[in-house]
Structure 1
């Protein structure tokens, strides 16, 4: 039963995540936290696998559709996100050793997620004046920050990816969503490799992946198809609506931990 619940959650989350560029993890993790069937560490791992799978399927579809990517931005941001993904996992494990308490770690993750969501919502709603940074240094630095944040939170990237890309490089939301999915692909690959070479995958119930991986792939494919058929205004509306919903779930989860 729990596998079917996870399947439904992940299909829906990754469909919305692929359309808006938020990756799905920002929806998956708080909902699975709310369900409470697995530990924080297990949920973080399952969320990582889900958004990584979604990013693979979505990126392949986007490349086949021959979307006009700026490969220079993608290369430097994604390379930064690989390093950031590894650093984020190191920080997560460091916090876990420091506090040795899953509740504390979950509370920290919720706090950082809420701040990220508020920034993303306020930026897309009020459209603060964007920067126009064009050097490789800024592309790489942006990737490190986003990759580390995504890995630490276990959400793949979330709205902060799209908002920061729009803010730093003055990208339209649809283009930022495409690049966000690429960042998610590389940062989550780095995190999975870091897990493999540190603790390995044996601590996790890998049978759950029989539900998680197909659901994530279906969500990624559906999201890409929907993205091609809706307007920029609709993408922005979905983006902001999801932020508000997930913000409410995170605040509730945080309140439950008090």
Structure 2
């Protein structure tokens, strides 16, 4: 089972680096479906893997001088997302503590993720007929980033398709530009989220080999995905992204039914 976790981390991180979705949106629901670990531990493992992958992808792009993140838009978005990462973690803790059984929070996460993923798929299929906005202003970017951080942290996915749709619709970014900015946002929001989880999760029950292995696999997947992204056309990125959304929706449906019946 441990080796399977490594394979999932590698594949999810590779696809995440290509599409700019971080990989957590794949790792989180797949591990939920496996049903072998508590929700809090899955969130922690997914968060660590996504943080490592996004750090590698953003760092490599920055060193190569090919990171299309602007001070006017990308930086305030990421700062807002970092604050949102804290708020999202607190929101998840509040929802979890309000339920009779803590594991029921997984049903809420799966249901919300299903709705968001479905809305994202609809947008990507119709985006050529939807007029995009070109919003500006640091204050507005901070607010948008805050909301993105809250949602991604609450769902434990790092960012996922939410970032891409918002960046393309509100800021008129092309697919690859949105992917790069999304990874930068994921990096900061996941950093704050992971720090909070380290402070609140009982790490004595976490298998260190599993954590290190998933992070290593995530880094390797990020390296492969970064290389592929540099040589793939935007239309192929769009096709991969849409296919991935369908798979994620199917997994979320399974998780809602499975967790509700557990």
Q: Structure 2 length normalisation: TM-score?
A: 0.94
Paired position in structure 1 for 2:153: 151
| 2:3 partner SS | helix
Question: 5 Å matches for 1:111-122?
Answer: 111-122=111-122
- Give 1:57 shift: 0.6
Moved more, 82-91 or 27-36: 27-36
Q: Does 1:66 align with 2:68?
A: no
Name the structure 1 match of 2:224.
222
Deviation at 1:174, TM superposition (A): 0.7
Cα deviation, residue 100, structure 1:
4.5
Distance 1:252 1:199, change over 3 A: closer
Count of residue pairs brought into register by the alignment: 257
Q: Which residue of 1 aligns with 2:9?
A: 10
Q: Secondary structure at the match of 2:21?
A: coil
Deviates more, 1:118-127 or 1:197-206: 197-206
Deviation at 1:193, TM superposition (A): 1.5
Corresponding position of 1:126: 126
Q: Any idea what SS the aligned residue of 1:32 has?
A: helix
Q: Per-residue CA shift, 1:223-257, capped at 9, x if unaligned? A: 11000000010111111111111111111111222
Flag structure 2 segments of 5+ consecutive residues without an equivalent.
none
Measured on the aligned residues, the alpha-carbon RMSD in Å equals 1.3
Query: What is the CA-CA distance between 1:6 and the residue it aligns to?
Result: 0.5
Is the CA contact 1:119–1:160 (under 8 Å) kept in the aligned structure 2? no
In the other structure, the counterpart of 2:138 is 136
Aligned to 1:108: 108
Q: Which secondary structure does the structure 2 equivalent of 1:37 belong to?
A: coil
8 Å contact kept, 2:113–2:155: yes
CA distance in 1 between partners of 2:7 and 2:86 (Å): 29
Given the alignment, which residue of 210, 225, 242 partners 1:240?
242
Q: Verify: 1:166 aligned to 2:143, yes or no.
A: no
The reply to whether residue 75 of structure 1 matches residue 75 of structure 2 is yes
Aligned residue number for residue 89 of structure 1: 89
Shift of 1:203: 4.5
Offset of 1:114 from its aligned partner? 0.9
C-alpha displacement of 1:103: 3.5
Unmatched 5+ stretches in structure 1: none
Instruction: Tell me the secondary structure at the aligned position of residue 72 of structure 2.
Output: helix
Q: Secondary structure at the match of 2:65?
A: coil
TM-score if structure 1 supplies the norm length?
0.95
Rounded Cα–Cα distance in structure 2 between residues aligned with 1:106 and 1:75? 31
Partner deviation per Cα, 1:195-245 (whole Å, 9 max, x = no partner): 233446345333311211100100111111000000010111111111111
